[in-house]
Structure 1
């Protein structure tokens, strides 16, 4: 089992971050993470390259800081907390598109794609996602048992959906899935990540180039029109394509498998999702799964542009900040009995999608896909069960997007 890159040194005053995910409770937070929370809302850690950024563990302080323009998302700031040297990895802010930018440039580029992810437009796609889900389940039922839920359902559906939205040929899914997996791997070296990122960037750049002369009804074609109008460069359009392609399938695919296994471990709550006719019950269940699992690890990372006072601490200009949503989402001040899965609770204050100007642009799509897939899977296959003990299932301890490498299921 491998884990995320560890800090070089640590002390009692500045414990190491990140620590290993606990294999004893793969759905929970590790003892090391709990220890960080016990140190207070804001404290120092020793992290990559011997740096000592601040870690923010509480919900209130994270919500405050995620909306504070004095924190920068630009990777190239000297104090930015990162496991990879941006220069060695070849990742400047443009290469990661608007996720690594500050306003006003962040807002300008984000607006060019946000219209595709409005709730109204995403809801119009629900019947299509339902048809896809039924189709992949049909294929799985006709195939051998046990089946790998990752390859049979969890990975292909969000990959197909984001491919259609962007205008990416789905027949290339093996290519972009392989490179995406390397990019989010916490154990891959900088050269491997750079190569994978370059592969996707060149692929999207070439595809955007084709869209400028032969546009379709898709997001990349809309971006190609903005290139022609002189609003963005072809490089910017390709970088946005990489960001959306990566984010559009990796996170949702991992939520599908993790959430399915977690619900199989909680059969009464699974039955509630399976048997209800009330879409609000399913929607609330999805929010609780998002809160409980919190699959984005290594935190949302920033650099202070000015001195900031928070929770009795002073974060100085130039210092790094790591905001840990998996701890904010288990803050007992916001979520009573936070380590208990309860699909009837109001989990909507969770920070699984972030907050502030950098909140996840694709969250309506992720929510809709999960709301379709979970109940459909359990209704279509009421006897679904894991074909291996939890202890033998390969969890993604080696990825910054937590999930499962392979989930064997039978029925």
Structure 2
């Protein structure tokens, strides 16, 4: 008989495990062990989140693919039962503009169309030479500076910050401002007041830039969006908040992948050698996708809500029930990726879900792949003796943000 438990069951909150779950400090790059247990034993099950509600946790690769393309599954965060990541997201949802991150078709389709063009493969590929120049210059500076160095501040943060600033048409000299406020806005440990202030500061900053581009068009995506505002294709508020989303996502996730991916390779020297010693772009591209699969840095899951009753795997997910898709669990699903707990850059990992799946799959995935290909294809070749300058046990991992990474990555050569 189908499992039809409801959120009103008196013992539901007490019985459901807390989410996000705790990682094993001895295996800091692996998903939490409890997630493995649920995927292998009860792949569609209840968890308890910060506000005491008990959404469904979806952990199998195939189940996620089925549900993330199901029109009965909604990304609208105004729907009753939506499982917000934290108190800040719940607080601002009623006042937030409709964006690609919180709407369904046809509104999502319209909004996505207004910002899709700059991120298509052809336009992103044209950025390869400029990104290569940025990476080479930053590595030059790193080699000329102190040894050991913090890879996060020397390379991982500057690369995507410079790239997204150039793509959007945002002054790079303001990068400290948008990095600091982005981190606060995404931090589950921040108070709603702190997160609201950080989000407001970013919105005011982008609104000022959009205003300038409305009057004086220039290069960059912000100017393109200003043109769409002038043409009546999107509102100024939509453009501002889309710009904020791009600015946050455009540097936070890639910076984390550069540092954490380097750490993973340093912990797997045989795989590092394969990356370091090749000049085959296909091998590097495969390594990027395997590292994205293996690390899956988004640790808060993809959040959705059911608009209708859905039956899957012997479970009935009732209309109005929240759902969380744990991407790391799916990317370590042995049915999708044999020996999933092993980093293997020669495997075909393109079907990973580190960028999500379905119509809401990450807009910037082509840009992220390009940046990671250039960094991974350059850093270890240019610094073949790169090594950790501190034991992995001493590294501080960020467990409160949307992405999971290291606060500092000391390296030497």
TM-score, normalised to structure 1, is 0.95
Offset, 1:78 = 2.2
Q: 1:186 aligns with which of 185, 188, 191?
A: 188
Q: How does 1:248-327 map to 2 (within 5 A)?
A: 248-327=250-329
Name the structure 2 match of 1:4: none
* Equivalent position to 2:40, from 38, 41, 56: 38
State whether residues 84 and 90 of structure 2, in contact with CA within 8 Å, keep that contact through their aligned partners in structure 1: no
Deviation at 1:406, TM superposition (A): 0.6
CA-to-partner distance for each residue in 1:257-302, whole Å, 9 max, x for gaps?
0000110111111111111121111111111100000000111000
The 5-angstrom pairing of residues 312-391 of structure 1 reads 312-391=314-393
CA deviations over 1:44-90 (Å, ceiling 9, x no partner):
12223221111101000100111111111122222011143467632
Which residue does the alignment assign to 2:79? 77
Cα separation, partners in 2 of 1:45 and 1:88, compared to 1, 3 Å: closer
Please name the residue that 1:156 is paired with.
158
Cα distance change, pair 287–143 in 1 and its aligned pair in 2 (3 A)? same
Is the 1:78–1:318 Cα contact (8 Å) retained in structure 2? yes
Q: Secondary structure at the match of 1:321?
A: strand
- Asked if 2 retains the 8 angstrom alpha-carbon contact of 1:89 and 1:193, the reply is no
- Contact 1:21–1:397 (CA<8 Å) still a contact in 2? no
TM normalised by structure 2 equals 0.94
| Counterpart Cα distance in 1 of 2:107 and 2:364 | 19
Distance in 1 (CA, whole Å) between partners of 2:356 and 2:266 is 27
| 9-18 vs 44-53, which moves further | 9-18
Secondary structure in structure 1 of the residue aligned to 2:153: helix
* 1:39-54 alignment runs, 5 A limit: 39-54=41-56
| Gap runs ≥5 in structure 2 | 1-10
- DSSP 3-state at the match of 1:49: coil
8 Å CA contact retained: 2:88, 2:196: no
- Separation of aligned partners in 2, 1:392 and 1:86: 31
Whether 1:27 and 2:43 are equivalent positions in the alignment is no
Q: How many angstroms does 1:43 deviate by? A: 1.0
Aligned residues: 403
1:98 aligns with 100
Q: What CA distance in whole angstroms lies between the structure 1 residues aligned with 2:181 and 2:31?
A: 28
Shift of 1:34: 2.0
RMSD: 1.5
Contact 2:389 2:410 in 1 (8 A): yes
Does structure 2 retain, via aligned residues, the 8 Å contact 1:396–1:403? yes
Whether the aligned pair in 2 keeps the contact of 1:291 and 1:352 (CA below 8 Å) is yes
Distance in structure 1 (CA, Å) of the matches to 2:49 and 2:271: 38
Change (3 A) 1:14 1:62: same
The one-character-per-residue Cα deviations of 1:85-137 (angstroms, maximum 9, x if unpaired) are 46763234744721111111111111111110111111110011111000000
Aligned to 2:16, what secondary structure does the other structure show? coil
Question: For residues 40 and 51 of structure 2, what CA distance do their matches in structure 1 show?
Answer: 25
Shift of 1:232: 1.4
**Would you say the 8 A contact 1:66–1:356 is kept in 2?**
yes
Gaps of 5+ in 1: 1-8
